[in-house]
Amino acid sequence: MPVTVDGRSLSLESAIEVAEGGARVKASPTSLKQMEKFRALLEQKLARGDVVYGVNTGFGSLSDKVVRPEHLEELQLNLIRSHSAGVGSPLPAEVVRAAMVIRLNSLLNGNSAVRREVAELIVGLLNKGVTPYVPEFGSLGASGDLVPSAHMALTMVGEGKAYRHGKLTDSSKVLSASKLKPIVLHAKEGLSLINGTAFTTALACVAVHRGGLLLKAADSALAVTAEVLGACSQSFDEKLLGVKLDPGQKYIAGELRAHLKGSRRIRSEPVPQDPYSIRCSPQVHGSLKDALDFAGGITVNEMNSVSDNPVLIEDGSVMHGGNFHAQPVAMVLDLLSISLSYLGVISLARIHYLLSKTPPESKYMAGKPGLESGLMILEYTATALTNDNAKNVYPESSYPASVSGGIEDHASHGVNAGVKCLQVATNISRVLAIELICASNILGSNESGISEHAKKVCGFVRANSPLLRGDRAQGEEIEFLAKQALAGSLP
């Protein structure tokens, strides 16, 4: 069943279905009519000879230059070409697709005053699996995500490059093969395609989604580690956590109690005390849950907003301002980078503790310690990944900017914040995979008294990373389990 997009009700889950699941898209007929109404208002202004920024003027510090009517189509095409100045590796296809559906959603509100044909082409691109080639660097996240959005629009006019069935080729060939026609941009349409927060918001959408999946994986890994180490159940007790008013830790403790149900490995006595990486895990994991809830609310609001400039209002007036500034979303992307990194720090602490508890005769779960290294180097890899995240948590959105002759003197740097956040998430998935491999090996083949959850998780882990029987290369096993964590495929 297609996802119907109407400008105001796009959910994070629906956006992910389109971005990652390849769900088809349908533009609401009512919204398409709304677009026609606002476009007619703009056409009336142009017919009267009104001067409107970005419609028949230059852009940014060139806004004092008025453009003659016969050059308006050329103005919009030049805008797309000049702003397609991105460099670096391509953004992931799921991020670009999310940006496309978010931009579509914004345009369907009508306030951008573009023709319905623009929205219909975006629908066609999404449904035919055409993904523009968009380099990762270039956006400042103010005046919109100009550069990445321009690369998206470049495909729409039949220039640049795009992917189809995973193959990168010229956009003109991709459109022809998909039975889609490039669009000739009319007045304001180029500006409305690039002047918004679609890419910053797309990165936040993907980051919130992956953050939720990683939190689920972290809770699973924690529960197995708690059983391996015979942790105290009081740390997750509903009565204890009820005296502290934090919804995140309450949620996590509930998840852990469900995972540990039926376990005879968990003890009720608080002495000897567990390390903080287990005892305080509801508080640490819970801080990410709180951050995800906050970030999700900001992201969904932005997904259903008009982030263009200028915009037309119902009464026909044109209003100018800063709705294209992505600061709220950039801020939560920085918050998510920090919050996600906590999962790596605490998982690394549990890995240290797990390996420190291995007996001398099987140190690091080596069959012949000294001759073999067992799991020892996995701890190094987890440490290196956590160190990389320490660098990545610097807040991009705090960085200054002064471009376009000093008129644009503040920026959110939202795309950079989002790219960094996804890297943090990838690193976390690998650290959690290492914790799961360590816990599975230390638990060993004796599963007496463990919970059904631990049996399922360890069974899944061992199907892809068998118990050690001598040293072997484990990098591919870590990467596979990390991808499963990011995909939400762990039990």
Which amino acids are annotated catalytic?
Answer: 53
User: CA separation (Å) from 428 to 90, 208, 213, 381?
Assistant: 22, 14, 11, 12
DSSP class of residue 141? S
Encoded amino acid at 305, one letter:
S
Q: How far apart are the first and last CA of the chain?
A: 27
Q: What's 352-419 look like in SS3?
A: HHHHHCCCHHHHHHCCCECCECCCHHHHHHHHHHHHHHHHHCCCHHHCCCCEHHHCECCCCCHHHHHH
CA 156/CA 141 separation, integer angstroms: 22
- Nearest CA to 126 among 178, 170, 199? 178
Strand bridging mode 135-137 / 130-132: unpaired
CA 461/CA 223 separation, integer angstroms: 14
CA 453/CA 462 separation, integer angstroms: 14
User: CA separation (Å) from 345 to 111, 211, 275, 371, 440?
Assistant: 45, 15, 14, 30, 20
Cα atoms found within 13 Å of the Cα of residue 426, Cβ hemisphere only: 10
